[in-house]
Amino acid sequence: MNPNKRVYDNILQTIGNTPLIKLHKVTSDLPCTVYAKVESFNPGNSIKDRMALKMLEVAEKEGKIKPGGTIIEGTSGNTGMGLALAAIVKGYKCIFATTDKQSKEKADILKALGAEVIVCPTNVEPEDPRSYYSVSKRLSTEIPNSWYVNQYDNLANRQAHYEQTGPEIWEQTEGKITHLVVAAGTGGTIVGTGMYLKEKNPNVKVWAIDTYGSLLKKWFETGELDMGEVYPYISEGFGEDFLPQNYIKEAIDKFEKVTDKDGAVMARKIAKEEGIFAGYSAGSVIAGLKQLKAELKPTDVVVVIFHDHGSRYVGKVYNDEWMLDRGFLDVDTVKDLIGGLGRRRLVTIDEDAKVSDALELMKKYDIEQIPVTKGGDVTGAITQAGLFKKLIENADVKDFLIADVKEPALPEVSMDTPLERLTHYITKENGAILTKDESGQHHILTKYDILNAFSKG
């Protein structure tokens, strides 16, 4: 395909010829030159468009699917996206089985393209009938004129990258590439691209990035498929709990594992410091490359693959509350904690309201303390413990005005207060604090918010 062509017959002709972009800030501590192959420029916003189309074209040639047939696959989203685009152009139906670990955005996108999506549990063995591998296989035997893609063992997967991704990188770097770094999942990208590059120059090093909870690194180093290495992980799109047939050891030189946290934090850093809104695995690839810094030298030219687009992860990696809940955000001050909790309504009650109104608010919002206000200013507080004590002494208290039973105002701290100091404000009688942001808006932090911040840290 002519990369300079600007008019296309259909969307599939826009797959490939993605840009190579030099990285600056996130790799400033590395001695080498680093380029990112930004695959979100594909029409489906991921590198999987390449192999999805190739696998379908091979299946058509081999007669595995007939016109009007159904494409069935187990996919975390990106392969499904590529297959769905191809299916629309070529006139096929799609059914995809995915896992409950994957972001909701991925499933929603597949549905928007007309695919049926079946969500399966993550924490089961591959051969378990509930797994997304098993479900997709079963459906392919039950539905007439259907084709089970099986991207893991379908060798057209790696063929696509041998024919496309590898040659593009070689041409873009003018043959100067010394290292290829890829987050390894099905094996198609790293093996296909790596095979091509090593044929052009056997000295090119191919480094695979794995995640903790995956068995690939140990398999590569020992040849053993150790299920003891396998446990649930949060990273998306790479790592495996079995060995796909697309893998060839000789195409890879090294495996490096990266934690869920390091990958997520780095993905956000790439967006903020490079202006490239990339997916979770892009962060893991850069984090892994930085872990291998000692093996790099100034003359090296490294190409990393940024597999997909950050829009797939706006409810996860790029969501402060999600990051905070998993202990992935470094929270040092009240401002950090407030930012991580997201926008929450501050429930207040006026002095002229009745105690019964306060009880209703506590029940409705499941809260234990409410700031009391008058004319917009905080003048006191109503707490569940204080009201309970008063109700025991006098059942008629519920008809009293808040002004007559309010307690002292919750302690108020500045936004730059270190978290360690907050424990001094939380007592048996006082279970929350207030703070005010730059706009003058009050926020409340409960003892549970503070305890959670410490436990995650």
State pLDDT tens for residues 172-224.
999 999 999 999 999 999 999 999 999 999 999 999 999 999 999 999 999 99
- What is the topology classification, in CATH, of domain 327-456? CBS-domain (3.10.580)
Please give the pLDDT value at position 336. Answer: 77
Please give the pLDDT value at position 346. Answer: 84
What pTM did the predictor assign? 0.76
- pLDDT digit string, tens, across residues 123-179: 888 788 888 888 998 999 999 999 999 999 999 999 999 999 999 999 999 999 999
3.40.50.300, 3.40.50.1370, 3.40.50.1100, 3.30.930.10: which CATH number matches 11-46+155-321?
A: 3.40.50.1100
Please give the pLDDT value at position 304. Answer: 98
| Domain spans in the chain, listed from the N-terminal domain onward | 11-46+155-321, 50-148, 327-456
Same fold, 11-46+155-321 and 50-148: yes
Domain 50-148, architecture per CATH: 3-Layer(aba) Sandwich (3.40)
Residues catalogued as catalytic? 48
Please give the pLDDT value at position 442. Answer: 85
The ranges of the chain with pLDDT < 70 are: 1-5, 76, 331, 342-343, 454-457
Q: Which amino acid is at 62?
A: E
Please give the pLDDT value at position 452. Answer: 72
